[in-house]
Structure 1
Amino acid sequence: MCDHHVAASGPAGPVEAAPSASASESGRASGLAEAGEVRRFWGRLGLPGLVDVHTHFMPERVLHKVWEYFDTQGPLIGGVEWPITYRAEEAERADVLREFGVRAFTSMLYPHKPGMARWLNGWAADFAARTPECVHTATLYPEPGVEDYVREAVEAGARVFKAHVQVGAYDPADELLRPAWGLLAEAGIPVVIHCGSGPAPGKHTGPEPIARVLARDPGLRLIVAHLGMPEYEDFLDLAERFGEVRLDTTMAFTDFTEQLMPFPRRALPRLAAVGDRVLLGSDFPNIPYPYLRQLQALERLGLGDEWLRAVCHDNAARLFGV
């Protein structure tokens, strides 16, 4: 939900100032202070740690634009106050996840206009190379040449892609993307896709465009971000119809989100039934509350320790081979 449209510049754009020392220290301190509680959560479940499929690492000037957006309460979040809990330097943010015991995480990044994706993919490859816990992430956009740079990213070792229908303001069933989706389906590479209409609807958000993509490539491993909020049940429909469709939990069930887009309790049995395809996501570092609250929110659902073990670790560990 905390993804949004930002006027981020490309490689030729100005470099943004780094976070202040006090902000950086505060972000790291807030993370380290709760590390013991996070570790107790997964330790109680008998897990070796967590796997988080929805964390954001991106070029600093792009990330700072994201933070600026939340600081000014942009229209896509309805003017809701949204403090960035883990505002810190890149290395410190990665250290916080390590302290939490997150064994593997992603670097979700995305273009909002043509000409950005290949550059972002280059940055992401470098980040993955210097960050052993990172599942090498790439992105795409409907533009000429998309199949070529998607293939390049796959050949360079990308293991997950990020697509953002809301920010990119594009139809995921766009003909320009068709060969890229086919390539990713054939390679079995998952795509975390923000396609639900939360926090604000876009022209191409919602289940219908995704259904058209899956009709063409039913084997495409789409991971629907944020459980598809607020169209939770519609995206559960797709997960029930297509065996490779997965859902990530990012921000779902937390008190913050439940006030805005509550998950219908009648759908909990359906969520339990597809528990082998539900994956932990958090939106770290851009969340307006401590990381622990995502885990506590999942535990409060009462779906049992076996479900929690699968969601918080085993499903993603199996998918990515970590």
Structure 2
Amino acid sequence: MDESAAVRAIWEPLGIPGVVDVHTHFMPKRVMDKVWQYFDAAGPLVGRAWPIAYRTDEADRLRTLRSFGVRAFTSLVYPHKPDMAAWLNQWAAQFASTTPDCLATATFFPEPGATEYVTAAIEGGTRVFKAHVQVGGYDPTDPLLDPVWGVVAEAGTPVVIHCGSGPQPGLHTGPDPIRAVLARHPRLRLVVAHMGMPEYADFLDLAESHPEVRLDTTMAFTPFVEETHPFPPTEGPRLLALGDRILFGSDFPNIPYGYVEAMRVLTEVDGADDDWLRGVFHDNAAELFGLATTAD
């Protein structure tokens, strides 16, 4: 069975129209090349060998996702320094305009003018933001971001945020800064990337106490991650109980294993039934982003 057929064999029996992947990366070529170089060098925020499974050109990567039956995905861009976010947003807006199955994506950084370009992105049709606390090395409670969080919360635009301390801790990773942000902006629609690994339990706590906090499954439960940041089996019942707020993410193309592996491990979560999988692979994200759901 080829890879596309193997992926489809997971989701097609569930009766969903495809997969919604909330955690995929499309970037300007020179930026993606630098990201790949960082992974190749096992940089300090990676910390281990990390071969890129889908190191192909952009057109081929799009064909690959579509062959898997991914009906909607993101182009998660993120800056690592000031004066990057606005032009990344320009690129991402253009990419989305020519890629109708991409959920228009934008990003931000704590810098003067961030509120203005975030507002412009929302008015321009951005449907999801990416915040990368680890790579950006910034404090989510930075005063420069407070009005940004306010604008995003008011708009109801989801933010996929890498705020857990995996694969390596950052200066401001972990649940405490996010808890402080949510105390000021409780309506924020945060999608915690990688399920907050390795602080899984803490981010499950946040999801339980904040109805608009969701978790994406990116890399969780895979053998690659279980070696270093295993999901605690004792937290399984809470994960299942939060099934309507768990969203599938893959980290495509920057994963060191096949896409089918990212999906297969979720089918093996203890207690996961077809209803839970339908929500995770499709319906939860479809509802969040206003796409047609299985019930429709």
Q: TM-score, normalised by structure 2?
A: 0.97
1:263-318, CA deviations, whole angstroms, 9 ceiling, x for partnerless residues?
A: 00000100111110000000000000000001110001031111000000000001
Aligned-pair CA distance for 1:202:
1.2
Q: 2:15 aligns with which of 42, 46, 71?
A: 46
Aligned-pair CA distance for 1:77:
2.0
> Unpaired runs of 5+ in structure 1?
1-31
Paired position in structure 2 for 1:121: 89
Paired position in structure 1 for 2:273: 304
Q: 1:235 aligns with which of 194, 203, 210?
A: 203
- Secondary structure of the residue aligned to 2:110 is coil
Aligned-pair CA distance for 1:75:
2.1
Paired position in structure 2 for 1:135: 103
- Secondary structure of the residue aligned to 1:62 is helix
Aligned-pair CA distance for 1:203:
1.4
Counterpart check, 1:62 vs 2:31: yes
RMSD over aligned CA atoms reads 0.9
Counterpart check, 1:271 vs 2:239: yes
Paired position in structure 2 for 1:83: 51
Aligned-pair CA distance for 1:126:
0.3
Paired position in structure 2 for 1:20: none
Letter in 2 for 1:238: L
Aligned-pair CA distance for 1:69:
1.1
Inter-partner Cα distance in structure 1 for 2:241 and 2:154: 27
- Secondary structure of the residue aligned to 2:284 is helix
Aligned-pair CA distance for 1:52:
0.2
Deviates more, 1:54-63 or 1:37-46: 37-46
Paired position in structure 1 for 2:190: 222
Letter in 1 for 2:285: A
Paired position in structure 1 for 2:288: 319
Aligned-pair CA distance for 1:47:
1.1
Aligned-pair CA distance for 1:114:
0.5
Inter-partner Cα distance in structure 2 for 1:224 and 1:252: 12
Paired position in structure 2 for 1:26: none
Inter-partner Cα distance in structure 1 for 2:136 and 2:50: 22
Inter-partner Cα distance in structure 2 for 1:205 and 1:214: 15
- Secondary structure of the residue aligned to 1:88 is coil
- Secondary structure of the residue aligned to 1:175 is coil
Deviates more, 1:151-160 or 1:298-307: 298-307
Paired position in structure 1 for 2:294: none
Q: 1:295 aligns with which of 246, 258, 263?
A: 263
Counterpart check, 1:180 vs 2:148: yes
Inter-partner Cα distance in structure 1 for 2:46 and 2:122: 33
- Secondary structure of the residue aligned to 2:144 is helix
Paired position in structure 1 for 2:134: 166
Aligned-pair CA distance for 1:251:
0.2
Asked if the contact 2:45–2:135 (Cα under 8 Å) also holds between the matched residues in 1, the reply is: no
1:40-77, CA deviations, whole angstroms, 9 ceiling, x for partnerless residues?
A: 11111111110000000000000001111111221222
Paired position in structure 1 for 2:168: 200
Inter-partner Cα distance in structure 2 for 1:175 and 1:268: 36
Inter-partner Cα distance in structure 2 for 1:153 and 1:256: 35
Aligned-pair CA distance for 1:220:
0.2
> Unpaired runs of 5+ in structure 2?
292-296
Q: 1:155 aligns with which of 99, 118, 123?
A: 123
Question: Aligned residue pairs: how many?
Answer: 290
- Secondary structure of the residue aligned to 2:130 is strand
Inter-partner Cα distance in structure 2 for 1:209 and 1:81: 29
Percent identical pairs in the alignment equals 65
Letter in 2 for 1:286: N
